[in-house]
Each structure stands twice: as structure tokens, then as C-alpha cells.
Chains A and B, each alone.
Chain A
Amino acid sequence: MARQPYDGVVLAAPHTEPYQRYSTETAHWWLARALKGTLDAAGLGPREIDGFSVASFTLFPDTPVGLTQHLGLCPRWLDSIPMGGASGVVALRRAARAVQAGDADIVACVAGDTNRIDSFRKLLSSFSRFAMDAAYPYGYGGPNANFALLTDRYMQDYGATRSDFGRIAVAQRDNALRNPHALMKKPLTLEDYLTARPIAEPLALFDCVMPCAGSEALLVMREDEALRRGLPCARLTGSIERHNAFADDPIQLRGGWAMDADELYAMAGCAPGDIDLLQTYDDYPVISMMQFEDLGFCDKGEGPRFARETDLTITGDLPHNTSGGQLSAGQAGAGGGFIGLVEALRQVTGRAGPTQVAGARRALVSGFGMINYDRGLCSGAVILEGAQ
């Protein structure tokens, strides 16, 4: 059966709560700030939303249920998205259908986490059963070593060099220098990238995201509602989601996008060449390179050449991760699943300020999440178009 379009549904009121490397505040605090930010942007009070979607790793012992009482909300539609880097795409897909079906009129989608000293290590120790049984005992403190292995394999199979990955990181740092809230504020040269201290060979310091505290939010509502309130907004023209794709691949060199990208473009009625800016999930450059391939910007194995030949900065051929992405702005836990989505919404509504891409109308946002054992399990993507 052909999928229904998301007619009549829009995204509006993007808000990013500026990230901090470490925070003494709680996830509740960060999610409250993001929610307040998006509501303020729309001129709404907390009782005026009737749908609430939350993605966070550090809310324990609470869930989004407890958060409704904590924050004084009374939604008739509530969602919890435990999908890390895919949470933005998945939250949006679900919220859009809820609004379209009338189950909710205005859904606030929020994501974020705190980061206390040592909380990252503690979070890791209970991340997943396979990680507990088969990754941590091997010294895998976080996904660095996982990505090292697949970067190693990717380099062997497709001839990628460290410089090819470095180009992605360096371009993002250029973008981040325009974003006053990015945690990384120093310029990064390819030389800096190549000579950085090793973390998990072949990965070095600038291949790895820096965990931090932060939060992101946006609203999903009917287009007439947004127009009535005078809110700049964007339509959702296509979306895909996939979990545990290509489970028989001995090591992950492609994600679920490769299964579903054709459907994404068919639904949105466009092709990769029509995309004005691309926000990939970028906890490590190799995974952005795979997204270039799996989302059809180049063929499989052509990612290194594509990275060499494409200017990925804000003023370049294909502006990529325009706020600096996680690599330069920081990884705010589940907020990392929203950073590209919220930035893309700012971009296609012409409100990205210092990181604005000239004439940005159509953005592709891609998500990737949950290194359960040896690979990321969740993938998804959406295409947004400015509604003005």
C-alpha cells in the first residue's frame, strides 16, 4: 500500500538550549528549558499543548509520564522515544501522524540530557544487554572502539584515508565557528585533525563527539494552526525509518537508509540533487560518509571521493551539518538525535541566523542511533520543505 503523505502537518518553533560540557542540572531541568524555549517561540503556554514527545537517557527514575506531572502538562497524547540518534526523525514521524489523525493538535517534541562528571560512564554501564555481555568486557567504554572497527573496515574496503574523514570534520568546524553556541570554538585544520592524539585507532580525537549537556525542541501542528499564529514553519514531505537493517552483514558498512532511500525520495517527490542542505547524524565522520552513500548523494564506496570533491561548508556545494553538528557543537545525549532536525527547521524557514544557507528551501535530515553491540540499529531520515 502506498504511504499517505503528511499533508497539512508542519513543524515550527525550533529551540536549542545552549549546550554545556558538564552540567550540575538534571535532565528534567534541560527538558524544561527546551520546552519553555519552543513554547515561548510560539507564544504558547504549557497547558496549550496536548501532545508531548520525549527522548532522554538520563531521566531515571522518571519516564515521560512522571515528567508530565513534574512540568505541569496535561497531554492527551504522550510518546517516549528511546532511540538516541534516531529520536528526532522517529519523534517527528509519530507526532506528524498524531496531528494528522487528530489525536493531538499541538505536539511538543523535546530531547536532551544532562552530563555530570562521570555520568557518561555510568550511563554506559547499563546501556544494553548485548553491550553489557559482549562489548564492555572488551574495554568498550562507549562506541569509540565500535566506530574504530567499522572505520578500519571501511578504509580497507573502499580505500578511504584519514584525510577523507578529516575533510568532513574540518568543514563542520568551519560551520561551527559561525554558531555562537557550539562548544568547539577553535578553528580546526586538516593538519590538526591528522596529528591529534589517537583514541581508538584509526580514530583520533577529532573523530569523536564530545558528550555534553543540552536540549532541543520543536512543535508539530496543523499548517492552518501555524498560519493562524503567524509561525514560520516547514512541511514534512517524506520520511523513512528502519531498525536492525542488514543484520547478516559481518560488520556495518551500510545503514538502513540503503534499504529505504528510494522510498524517501519518491514520497518527497525529489532527488538528492534537489536537496539544499544535509544534516547527517555525525557522532563519527565515517557514519556521515556512509549516509552520503546510502542516501544516494554518491554510490557505495564513493564516499571518500565525494568528501574530497564536495565543499560541505555553509557556503559550499552541499552545506552539511550547518550548526557544526555533534562533532563541533557537542553530543547532548538524546538531544544529538534532534540537533540536525532543529537546525534544518531553522534553515528552511530562513531563521538560522549566522549559519543560514542562502536560499535554503529543502533539507534532508538523517538519524542513526543505538549501538546495541557492534553496530547502530536505528536509522531514519526526513525531508523538510519551508512552507513560506
Chain B
Amino acid sequence: MTDPISPPPKKNPQARTRTPTLPPLTRSRAALGLTAAAAEGRFMLQVCDGCGAVQYPPRDACVQCLSTALTWRDVTPAGRLIATTRVHASPDPYFRERLPWRTGTVQLDAGPSVICHLHGDCESGARVRLINRLDKAGHGVIMALPEEATPNMADDPQLREMTADPKHRRVLITDARAPDAPALAKAMLEAGASTVFLGEAEGWRPWPGREALAAMEGVSILPLDVTDTSSARELAGEIGGKTDILINNARFIRPGGMFDRGDTVFPGREMEVNYLGLLRLAQAFGPAMRGRGADGVNSAAAWVNILSAHALINAPDHATFCASQAAALSLSQALRAELRAGGVKVMNLYVGPTDDDWHQPLPPPKVAPAALARSLVAGLRDGLEEVHCGDVARDIAERWRRDPKVLEREIGQEGLG
């Protein structure tokens, strides 16, 4: 039985904020396959193309037949816990601060046995379910969970190190006016977030739905214009030290191809919001979040960018919008590298056309705000870096993985819809 975590006490401003330490960062190139799989929450191991052997730890040749053709594949995430220990002493600073730490040996149904992190509810000798998650260093690690869910399971301190669960955390959603804002705020509160801050640009300009949003318990609407550097700085000065999860949902989109307009007004606006907006937020909020990556129950945990699936490949009927999304995607990779020192994750949530005014003429499937919010919460709970929300986003990601050049040609004809 996992003890539920309690809401953290109010922070003592005189106490030193714990400096984030990280678990070991060094990995072989082969082992990064586990990290790549964990970014999407997949339990994958190396499988030999020659003889089908499943192997672990990652190697450069098959341990059965010496073939060097090894592919990371999804493997049945189940096995039996054959040995356990609880470590009370470690020379590693990260683990030393978190002792005791439970690990075990699991014999996988797929073949090899693995040393893995152990959820507190796993019993010796029992069947277990395996997950592959990103640890605070941003590397894939294997953890065993009880086969059946147990009460307060997500509150296990070791599991919580691998996730960015919103429970007891304070969330900033950067654009209160965006069509997905109410669904996101509601989902965060339902997931246990203690406070949801919503950024509002041009507060003098009334908008429908503001009253309902402001009336939600735990919601606080604050001024934030992502196109204004000083606005971002001011808000960061106010709540930067208590922003545990930042969800950047600010987006400017206008349909149209490159030749449809003779100027760069809308494309400039797209870059201002979608790319430079992210940059301003990163510069304003990033350093404080990085410094609070180990700040207790409500440590800074994750930064979420809601990106178009077409950040991966340009849809010419939304040419300049897609370009701004590609710029944001590129910047998000740098942000991920910067925030890693604090153990703070950057999650990109890729969505296809959303069910709102700007995608009104497009045919279904379109992503409903509630579906987007569900994916986002699930991604945080699994501590993911890459989440593809909805059928269109998954389809594009899959085709992009297979052959970006083929996809370019296809999307060049299909467009966004």
C-alpha cells in the first residue's frame, strides 16, 4: 500500500531550495534506444533481426548469434520479481538524497532478466508489469509495478521521480483565451493540481467564457502576453518560483498558402506568438524552473508545448503556420537540453487539426479540447517527451518515421485537411 502524498506546506522562504542532482548521465549509444523508447512511454528492448533473441542490457551484437542487425521492438512488459533489495547507502549524490531506494531483478517473459527500479507495492516473487520511463537525467530506465493497480500507486516516491504528475502541483496555462484553455484547466484541477494560473493578454478586451473560467475553484487569471517580453518577465517575477508545470498553449494560426498573401503580416504574427513567444517564456520561466527541479512534492516538473503535428512536415495550405511550428519544435529541443540540468522534462504534444474556428472547414477527424487535455494529463503522468494526440497526429508521426521524403510529397498534395 502506497501512502498518499500530502499537499506540501507553504514554502519557507528562508530555507535553502534543494539543488537538483541527477542520476547518472552517461550511456552508451546502444543504450539510448531505451531512452528514445521511454520518451514515448514504450517498453522496448533490442531484438535480433537474425535469430529473434531479445536481449538486455543493450549490445552491439546479438548475444545468441553475433548478428549486428539489432532493432528496438515493443516487448511484452511482464515478468516475475525474483530478487529484491532496498539500498540504504550509495556513493551517488542523487540516490544518496533519496534513500532508501528499492530495486529488484525481474525475469522477463520475453527472456532476459533485468535489474530495475521497484515500486513499493511489488512483492517478492510476484508477477510484475514493467514500464520504461525517463528518469530525472532524461534517460530511459526500467521500473517494475505491481501487476494490478494499487491504491495511490502514482504517489510512490520512486515512481514520482519518473513522472510529472500534476497532483499537488501549480500549473501555468499561457493563453486563457485559447479554445482549449477551459478543458486544460479543468483537466489539471481534476488531476490534482493545486492551482491553475491562466495567462491573459490584453485584459481590457472582453471575451466569452472568461467569467466561467475565473469562477473555477483554484483558477487564477493573470496578465500575460507572450508577444511582450516585459509582460512575460513580470509574470515570471510574480509566479516563476511557483510554476511547477508550464503549458504553452498560445498559438496564432491563419490558413493559407505562401502565395495567398502578398505580405508577411500574419506570418510575422505567427512567429511572434508561436516561436518568439516560446522563446520569451523560456527565457522568463526556464531558469527558475530549472532551479526548482528537486523542490519537494511540488517541484518544477514539466514544460509542455502544444504543437501542430505539421511541425514535422509542412502542409502548404498552412505554409507559414507550419514553418512557425517547425521553429518552435526546434527551439523545444534546446529547451529540453537546458532544463535537463534541473531534471525538468519538456513534453511536446503534437495535435492534428483541432475542433475550433480556425479549422472549421476541415473534415474530421479533429481533436476535441477535452481529448487534447486527456492526452496531456496522461503524458505528464507517464513523464513523456513526445505525445501524439489524435489519429491525424499519430498518422503523420508514423509516416514521418517511415520516410520524411515520401511524407513531404504526400502532404504537399493533401494539405492540412
Binding site for B on A (CB under 8 A): 120-121, 124-125, 129-130, 132-142, 144-146, 148-150, 152-153, 156, 197-203, 247, 250-251, 373-374
Contacts and interface: CB of A to CB of B under 8 A. Distances in A.
Contacts, number: 115
Nearest to A124: B91
- Count class of interface residues, chain B: 35 or more
Interface string B6-42: 0000000000000000011011101100000000000
Given A130-B57, A374-B105, A149 B91 contact: no
B89 interface: yes
Given A134-B114, A153-B105, A374-B115, A142 B91 contact: yes
Contacts of B69: none
Given A130-B57, A149-B105, A373-B57, A141 B92 contact: yes
Given A125-B24, A200-B87, A141 B105 contact: no
Given A135-B115, A137-B23, A149 B141 contact: no
Given A132-B27, A133-B28, A373-B57, A138 B88 contact: no
B277 to A, nearest CB: 35
A121 B91 contact: yes
A153 B82 contact: yes
Contact of A139 (B27, B95, B124): B95
A46 to B, nearest CB: 37
A138 B89 contact: no
Contacts of B23: 136-137, 139
Contacts of B91: 120-121, 124, 141-142
B139 interface: yes
Given A129-B57, A139-B95, A148-B85, 11 more contacts: A133-B57, A136-B92, A137-B24, A139-B23, A145-B87, A152-B83, A153-B105, A156-B125, A198-B86, A199-B87, A200-B89
Nearest to A204: B88
Given A121-B91, A141-B92, A134 B103 contact: no
Contacts of B63: 247
Given A133-B58, A134-B115, A198 B105 contact: no
A138 B31 contact: no
A139 B90 CA distance: 7
Contacts of B57: 129-130, 133-134, 373
Nearest to A197: B88
Nearest to A122: B91
Nearest to B31: A133
A324 B90 CA distance: 25
Nearest to A132: B26
Interface in B291-313: none
Ranked nearest first, the 9 interchain pairs of A and B with the lowest CB-CB distance are A148-B85, A139-B95, A133-B31, A134-B57, A141-B91, A149-B83, A121-B91, A153-B83, A250-B113
A120 to B, nearest CB: 7
A146 B90 CA distance: 13
